[in-house]
Amino acid sequence: MLCKKSGTHLQDFVLVTSKFTQDIPSRIDTIRGLIEMRLSEIIPSETTWPARLHEAQRHALLSPGKRFRPLLCVFIAEGGGVKKGPDLDAAITTGCVAEMVHAASLILDDLPCMDDADLRRNQPTTHIAFDESTAILSATALLNRAFGALSRLEQISADKRVEMIDLLSYAVGSKGLIAGQMADLANTDKGTSIAEIERLNTLKTGALFDFSVDAAGILSGMRASQRDALKDFSYHLGLAFQLLDDVKDAVMNEGEAKKSVNRDAGKATILAIAGSAASRKKLNEYLSHAKAALQRAELNNLSTLTAILDHQFAFLRS
């Protein structure tokens, strides 16, 4: 894969950057830059026929984002022992796969038949910028390309590739992300318990964190005990992330959130049932459990991962 800015291979950048010791913020920025390059390369250019379809895919995938899921995947894989260029390159691609699925899910979530949103990441949602048909086809194409990208990870064994493809199919399937979206569309009963809402959030939001984190464990060949700890981490992280999103939806305006807000009006959420103070307490509990599980995973870069989490949840300190 070529880096368009310099004409050299992205794998070469991965190999070179892995040799240098950087401070934590610089290291995160370096990996984020490599993720951005890979995302730009992994799908066809906007001039490739059919141009409108590929333009729409790039509109959704390459819009400015924190790249939280791919960063987690890469740094958890590093924490489990992935250091060398080709292995790190595989972790970057795998993280980008998670981001592609995330982008596809956002396209669908924003549709008029779902949340009917018109702003995402401070730009028009895909069905607004293009049209509904193009948006649906773009989401489908991103999902298909995600599986293709995993299948072509020749740096790792065929057994690992098959395991990750199976893991992704479960994460986005009828017992994962899609199940969560179905449950969310029917989520209007204010008598719903917090436990039932947590189950919904685990499917809708947590499933893709599960893939990002467990795939990193597969790539780095972690012990079963480490992968178990990371599953506990991704479970509580997913709950924390969704509750944070619910809180932001209620208290932020579109300029602050950089997306359409008040999309949860009428839905049964922890915030709607328990109120703001109790929700913030619950959110901090989820995050504390996630960090404790991350410590149990015995990774060698805990400070870097903690910095990524703290940045993602900085809203709690506001």
The rounded radius of gyration (Å) of the Cα atoms in the chain is 19
- 50-54, 111-115, 209-213, 244-248: least confidently modelled range: 244-248
Domains and CATH numbers, the chain: 10-317 (1.10.600.10)
CA 237 to CA 265: how far, in whole Å?
Answer: 24
CA 287 to CA 282: how far, in whole Å?
Answer: 9
In 130-223, where does DSSP find H-type helix? 132-151, 158-171, 177-185, 194-201, 207-220
Question: Could you give the angle at which helices 85-109 and 177-185 cross, rounded to 10 degrees?
Answer: 20
7 or 211: which carries more pLDDT confidence? Answer: 211
- pLDDT for the residue 7: 37
For the chain, percent of residues with pLDDT exceeding 70: 89
Question: Could you give the angle at which helices 132-151 and 85-109 cross, rounded to 10 degrees?
Answer: 160
Q: Are 237 and 206 in contact (CB under 8 A)?
A: yes
- pLDDT for the residue 47: 96
For the chain, percent of residues with pLDDT exceeding 90: 71
Collapsing DSSP to helix, strand or coil, 124 comes out as strand
- pLDDT for the residue 2: 37
- 93-102, 116-125, 228-237, 259-268: least confidently modelled range: 259-268
Sign for the pseudo-dihedral over CA of 169, 170, 176, 179? positive
Residue 252 has pLDDT above 90, yes or no: no
The predicted model gives 41-70 an average pLDDT of 96
Q: Please report which confidence band the pLDDT of residue 184 belongs to, taking 50, 70 and 90 as the band edges.
A: confident
CA 128 to CA 251: how far, in whole Å?
Answer: 24
The predicted model gives 98-117 an average pLDDT of 95
- 211-225, 262-276, 286-300: least confidently modelled range: 262-276
- pLDDT for the residue 306: 96
CA 100 to CA 169: how far, in whole Å?
Answer: 14
Whole-number average pLDDT of the chain:
89
- pLDDT for the residue 262: 67
In tens, the pLDDT along 170-180 reads: 999 999 999 98
Q: Please report which confidence band the pLDDT of residue 4 belongs to, taking 50, 70 and 90 as the band edges.
A: very low
CA 296 to CA 207: how far, in whole Å?
Answer: 21
Q: Are 76 and 299 in contact (CB under 8 A)?
A: yes
- pLDDT for the residue 263: 65
CA 108 to CA 125: how far, in whole Å?
Answer: 10
How far apart, in Å, are the Cα atoms of 305 and each of 23, 241, 265? 13, 15, 33
Sign for the pseudo-dihedral over CA of 210, 215, 218, 219? negative
Q: Are 240 and 283 in contact (CB under 8 A)?
A: yes
CA 131 to CA 157: how far, in whole Å?
Answer: 40
Residue 175, φ and ψ in degrees, nearest 5 = -115, 10
CB-based contacts of 224, cutoff 8 Å, min separation 6: none
Retrieve residue 281's tokens.
């307490």
Q: Please report which confidence band the pLDDT of residue 100 belongs to, taking 50, 70 and 90 as the band edges.
A: very high
In tens, the pLDDT along 5-27 reads: 333 345 544 444 444 457 999 99
What is the secondary structure of 56-120 as a DSSP string?
HHHHHHSS----HHHHHHHHHHHHTT--SHHHHHHHHHHHHHHHHHHHHHHHHHTSTTTT---EE
Q: Are 160 and 154 in contact (CB under 8 A)?
A: no
Nearest alpha carbon to residue 253 among 152, 119, 77 = 119
